[in-house]
């Protein structure tokens, strides 16, 4: 009987290494790294964060997708959503014949056209319990690239639901990872979850725990962010905190501390283990990139450029960190920079639309900080550095 579920790849790394290098490698990035993460040419200096770009989980997911296409050259290969939040990587997979399955805003993935003869890749974010079960029922080959850090969160949420605790997830309720994480509670009768986006929403939860507010208002406020049948009077008595792995670490820890304080106030410190649990489930790669950019912006910089998909949560958080310290431009890729016109297209932190500005590179000696989200390949970082240099009339080719 054919094996239909794979989580560890196909041992074809040597077959795909050439393609991965051709698609994502950057000599410019190698050069900057070799020079202590600093590159100076004339009065222009680039400083690269010491942790940036592809993390282990993204590397692994992209490798498995390439291996899958190589392993099953004659079969139809589908991908549930996007492999990661980077438009170039996703477009490359499409050019390799991988078909993307999309979820309507208010609906479910349409799996009706998938047959047992097809291959379906599950993305690094994972999929919901329901979607996994639907695909298993089809009998197709599943290649699961779910990141290990995400799986760690799932284990934590699973243990909360198993023990009768509501999972309070710090995350974006519409994000694929948070949807998949929240769904883990559905394995248990009565399993409940609540998603909080930020400290403001967490404080609403805290106020209710402490006895303020009405149930009707609470349900209205969190309408899209609750498990079905959620009853705040019943389901906020015992809670366990977890988070989307790419959120800001400090914010996740502060939210957990705030909920803990409210639980202690309501039930007393001695009874806390019966009412509250927490565990830091920020992934190490996200934390490493946040720590590295904090060190970088502590140095004198004229501006920061953050490269990565606008829908990449970890990239937008890097941009938010930098925004407080230096003029920051979150760009999707090098094409956002027009050296001849002297303009840049970027998305400010918290905005939903791009802006275009001119004169963004000051005259005279200039130090530019550069970092990239965990789903940004090195070639896109290198291309950005080259474009910035070109805007100052400098060529990096030699």
End residue of a domain, out of 147, 162, 187: 147
Beta carbons of 128 and 108 less than 8 angstroms apart? no
Residue 98 domain flag:
yes
Does 177 participate in catalysis according to the annotation? yes
Give the pLDDT band of residue 231 (cuts 50, 70, 90).
very high
The CATH number linked to 47 is: 3.40.1010.20
How far is 311 from 376, CA to CA, in rounded Å? 12
DSSP letter assigned to residue 186: G
Beta carbons of 197 and 128 less than 8 angstroms apart? no
pLDDT value of position 177: 95
Q: By residue range, what is the domain housing residue 46?
A: 35-55+284-391
How far CA 200 is from CA of 38, 232, 253, 313, in Å, comes to 39, 17, 14, 19
How far is 138 from 89, CA to CA, in rounded Å? 27
Do both 132 and 158 map to the same domain? Answer: no
pLDDT value of position 78: 98
pLDDT value of position 388: 97
Do both 170 and 242 map to the same domain? Answer: yes
β-partners of residue 120 are 78, 142
End residue of a domain, out of 248, 278, 308: 278
Do both 272 and 317 map to the same domain? Answer: no
pLDDT value of position 397: 64
Query: Which of 177, 251, 383, 386 is the catalytic position?
Result: 177
pLDDT value of position 155: 96
Beta carbons of 227 and 194 less than 8 angstroms apart? yes
- CB atoms near residue 173 (< 10 Å): 18
- Strands of 355-358's sheet in order across: 337-338, 343-346, 355-358
Give the pLDDT band of residue 293 (cuts 50, 70, 90).
very high
Do both 203 and 252 map to the same domain? Answer: yes
Residue 115 burial (C-beta neighbours within 10 Å; 0-12, 13-18, 19+): exposed
Do both 165 and 266 map to the same domain? Answer: yes
Q: pTM to 2 decimals?
A: 0.92
Instruction: Determine what percent of the chain is predicted with pLDDT higher than 90.
Output: 89
Q: How far is CA 28 from the centre of its chain?
A: 25
Give the strand pairing for 38-41 and 44-48: antiparallel
pLDDT, tens digit, 9 for 90 and up, residues 27-39: 999 999 999 999 9
Residue 39 domain flag:
yes
pLDDT value of position 398: 53
Domain count, the chain: 3
Do both 61 and 122 map to the same domain? Answer: yes
Do both 94 and 77 map to the same domain? Answer: yes
Do both 135 and 235 map to the same domain? Answer: no
Chain mean pLDDT for the chain: 95
């Amino acid at each position: 009987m054919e094996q239909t579920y794979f989580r560890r790849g196909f041992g074809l790394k040597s077959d795909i290494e050439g393609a991965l290098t051709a698609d994502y490698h950057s000599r410019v990035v190698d050069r900057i790294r070799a020079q202590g993460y600093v590159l100076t040419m004339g009065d222009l200096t680039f400083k690269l964060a010491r942790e940036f770009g592809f993390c282990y989980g993204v590397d692994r997911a992209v490798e498995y997708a390439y291996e899958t296409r190589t392993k099953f050259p004659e079969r139809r290969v589908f991908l549930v959503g996007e492999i990661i939040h980077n438009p170039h990587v996703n477009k490359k997979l499409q050019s390799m014949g991988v078909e993307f399955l999309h979820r309507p805003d208010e609906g479910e993935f349409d799996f009706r056209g998938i047959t047992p003869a097809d291959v379906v890749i599950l993305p690094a974010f994972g999929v919901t319990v329901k979607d996994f079960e639907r695909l298993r029922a089809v009998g197709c080959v599943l290649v699961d690239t779910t990141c290990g850090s995400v799986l760690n969160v799932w284990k934590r949420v699973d243990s909360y639901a198993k023990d009768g605790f509501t999972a309070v997830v710090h995350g974006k309720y519409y994000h694929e990872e948070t949807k998949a994480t929240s769904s883990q509670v559905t394995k248990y009768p009565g399993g409940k979850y609540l998603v909080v986006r930020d400290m403001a929403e967490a404080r609403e939860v805290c106020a209710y725990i402490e006895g303020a507010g009405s149930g009707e208002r609470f349900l209205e406020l969190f309408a899209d962010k609750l498990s079905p049948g959620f009853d705040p009077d019943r389901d906020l008595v015992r809670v366990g905190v977890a988070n989307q792995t790419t959120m800001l670490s400090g914010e996740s820890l502060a939210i957990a501390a705030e909920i803990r304080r409210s639980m202690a106030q309501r039930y007393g410190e001695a009874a806390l283990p019966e009412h509250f649990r927490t565990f830091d489930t920020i992934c190490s790669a996200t934390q490493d990139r946040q720590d590295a950019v904090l060190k970088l912006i502590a140095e004198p910089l004229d501006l920061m450029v953050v490269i990565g998909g606008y829908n990449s949560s970890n990239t937008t958080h890097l941009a938010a960190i930098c925004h407080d310290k230096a003029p920051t431009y979150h760009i999707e890729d090098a094409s956002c920079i027009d050296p001849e016109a002297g303009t840049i297209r970027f998305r400010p932190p918290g905005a939903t639309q791009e802006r275009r500005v001119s004169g963004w590179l000051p005259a005279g000696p200039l130090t530019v900080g550069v970092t990239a989200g965990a789903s940004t390949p090195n070639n896109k970082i290198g291309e950005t550095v080259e474009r910035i240099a070109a805007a100052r009339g400098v060529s990096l080719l030699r």
